[in-house]
Amino acid sequence: MQDSVTFRFRLTLSFWLLLLFAAILPSWYLCHRLYAEIRAEAKENAVLQLRFVLALMDRRPEAVQDLEHLQNWLAETGGRFNARLTYIGRNGDVLCDSHVPSAAIPNLDSFSGRPEFTQAMEHGTGTDIRKGRFDVRLQVFAAQPIPGGGAAPPAVLRVAVPAPHALELLNGLYANYLYLLAAALIVTFFLARFLSNLIRRSAEAVSRITRAVVEDDYAQRVRFHPAHEFYPLGTSVDEMTRHIAGTVQWITEEKHKLEAVLNGMQEGVMVLDAACRIQIVNRALSGVIPDAAFSLGRRPLEVLVNLELHDACLQVLSAGGEAPATPHFLQIEIGRDRVFDVTIARLDDEDGNPGAIVVFHDISNLKRLERVRQDFVANVSHELRTPLTSIKGYAETLLSDPKPDLQTEHSFLQVILKNTNHMVKMVDDLLQLARLEARAEPLKPQPVNPSDALAAAWKACFSLAEPKRVRLEDLLPKDEIRVSADYGQLVQVFRNLLENGIRYSPQESVLEVSCKVEGGKVVFSIHDNGPGIAKQHQRRVFERFYRVEKHRGTLAGSTGLGLSICRHIVENYRGRIWVRSPDPGSGGGTTFQFSLPGSDAPQDRHESEGSGHIA
């Protein structure tokens, strides 16, 4: 509004100045010059006419011998020249007048105050242009003193002739000049107002479109009529809007493509600007940075709390122009167990401003597998070392000099055999575990009667149970239940659990095996009265080589792999295995439980549950 008022004021002022310099001043000057010229010429003509009358008067002395004759001569001559001739005494009293009868002359006012009379008296000739009291038209007066003659006293002769029409017109123009000027000013004021409104409306139409473009609305158009003054401006704005809309759409599509590529990447990606502030993060990085959405505009150090990474980013950003060719590599640890290979590459924009792209490649799994492999090698070496050392010792003793007696030799060979058997079992267990982990043999789940499998397993453990007089209490239904598994592998699970039960049970105790059906699965329980397993060990006993107490490892046949094998078999058949045990010493013993699907459950091979676990 303020702008439009200012614009209107400026437009009005411009119009007025234009009016002043283009019309008022020239016209005023022209009128003034014309007026002065015409006046001077009219006065000159009147003086000439006056002189002409005086010349006539000189040639007709009889006409001015007395005032009566003079009156008649003036009336006749004035009528002929269309001029008023007045004979004025030197005191200003009118003596004769061509246009006034003799009887009325004494009633006339004194002419002593008339400008032409006073000028004539003072300078010899006097002129004036004005409207007489009874005149309709403007009159030109000229007066000159004359000596008189005969009965006519010395006097001043005055001629009054009508002024030229042009002078009359100019006089009228002068009188109305101010009104004309005021009218012109008012008209130009309203013209400026009208024009400014017109321009404002057109400007508003254009600014409405630009505002819409700012608010991402590209559908609006100016739509001026082709006859409109601003039609070319309107079409240009429309064209510009269409162009911007096209460009924005292209940029949006490109952005979506880039986002799709970035978000489809498994690697986390972060883009940094010249000030080392995060500009873009992809979806994969959300798994690394908890509040990835809030990380924009912050520095890597603030969101990942890793000084090494931060320094590397700064180093890449501050490097010279050759930096883009040499990406920076480093390995960082985020959180407790996540390890990333990080690549930082320089990425300058079109204007040469430096930027960087940081790619996070998660190698936590590789690292974990590496650790597992190292642990495995260490464990196997450790497990084999004890029996091997023993074998070596006894073999050396047997070969030493003097040789031991036969009985000692026999007992030594027994020890060597026992250790060898232990190593053979361990190698067998390891091979079986490797096969289970690799799923080398295809799973062929079949309906298996668990009671048969338990009987077979117990038979295999009998030699272990007999010396301790441990009894089996088989509470499984004989024929009603079938589970979906492999018979041989189910026997193996029962056997491992029974062997542990026998191994850790006291003499003459009872091993109880029962089952229940829960939600389509059969849950088996193998309970013994042994020492039990403390809470903190319960999850870990299923790991390879894990033993609760180290001295238990010396028990015959203990490899630390049995429960791990059980877990792999059960999980391969979509089951689960766990242990329940009150605190050791409380006399509660240990209960191992595992679940397997009933044989009417779907037989498809299950890949996800527990398949990735390596104990």
Catalog residues that contact ligand ADP under the rule CB under 6 A.
496, 500-501, 504, 528, 530-531, 533, 541, 546-548, 552, 558-564, 590
Reference 498, options 518, 524, 536, 533; nearest CA is: 524
- Closest to ligand ADP by CB, 50 or 533: 533
- Closest to ligand ADP by CB, 485 or 615: 615
Q: How far is the CB of 473 from ligand ADP (least distance, A)?
A: 15
Q: How far is the CB of 389 from ligand ADP (least distance, A)?
A: 19
Q: 84-89 and 268-272: which strand pairing?
A: unpaired
- The CA–CA distances, whole Å, from 183 to 8, 17, 19 equal 19, 15, 12
Reading the block at residue 53, the tokens are: 């009358």
Q: 590-597 and 576-580: which strand pairing?
A: antiparallel
DSSP state of 402: S
Rounded Cα–Cα distance for residues 544 and 379 (Å) = 9
Q: How far is the CB of 498 from ligand ADP (least distance, A)?
A: 10
Q: How far is the CB of 585 from ligand ADP (least distance, A)?
A: 12
- Closest to ligand ADP by CB, 145 or 531: 531
- Closest to ligand ADP by CB, 440 or 555: 555
Compute the half-sphere exposure of residue 447: CA atoms within 13 Å on the CB side of its CA.
9
Q: How far is the CB of 547 from ligand ADP (least distance, A)?
A: 3
Show Cβ contacts of residue 139 under 8 Å, excluding neighbours closer than 6 positions: 84, 129, 130, 131, 132, 160, 161, 162, 163
Rounded Cα–Cα distance for residues 411 and 417 (Å) = 10
Q: 471-474 and 356-362: which strand pairing?
A: unpaired
- Closest to ligand ADP by CB, 116 or 543: 543
Q: In what order do the strands lie in the sheet with 521-528?
A: 471-474, 510-518, 521-528, 590-597, 576-580
- Closest to ligand ADP by CB, 28 or 578: 578
Show Cβ contacts of residue 447 under 8 Å, excluding neighbours closer than 6 positions: 482, 483, 484, 599
Q: How far is the CB of 543 from ligand ADP (least distance, A)?
A: 8
Reference 344, options 278, 286, 287, 289; nearest CA is: 278
- Closest to ligand ADP by CB, 354 or 584: 584
Q: How far is the CB of 425 from ligand ADP (least distance, A)?
A: 9
Rounded Cα–Cα distance for residues 445 and 601 (Å) = 11
Q: How far is the CB of 570 from ligand ADP (least distance, A)?
A: 13
Reference 94, options 70, 60, 76; nearest CA is: 70
Rounded Cα–Cα distance for residues 340 and 321 (Å) = 27
Q: How far is the CB of 559 from ligand ADP (least distance, A)?
A: 5
Task: State whether residue 360 is helix, strand or coil.
Answer: strand
Give the residue carrying structure tokens 């798994």: 287
- Closest to ligand ADP by CB, 487 or 546: 546
- Closest to ligand ADP by CB, 105 or 464: 464
Residue 186 burial (10 A CB sphere; 0-12, 13-18, 19+): exposed
Closest residue to ligand ADP, judged by C-beta, is 562
Q: How far is the CB of 575 from ligand ADP (least distance, A)?
A: 17
Q: How far is the CB of 347 from ligand ADP (least distance, A)?
A: 53
- Closest to ligand ADP by CB, 387 or 560: 560
- Closest to ligand ADP by CB, 196 or 500: 500
Reading the block at residue 452, the tokens are: 């048969």
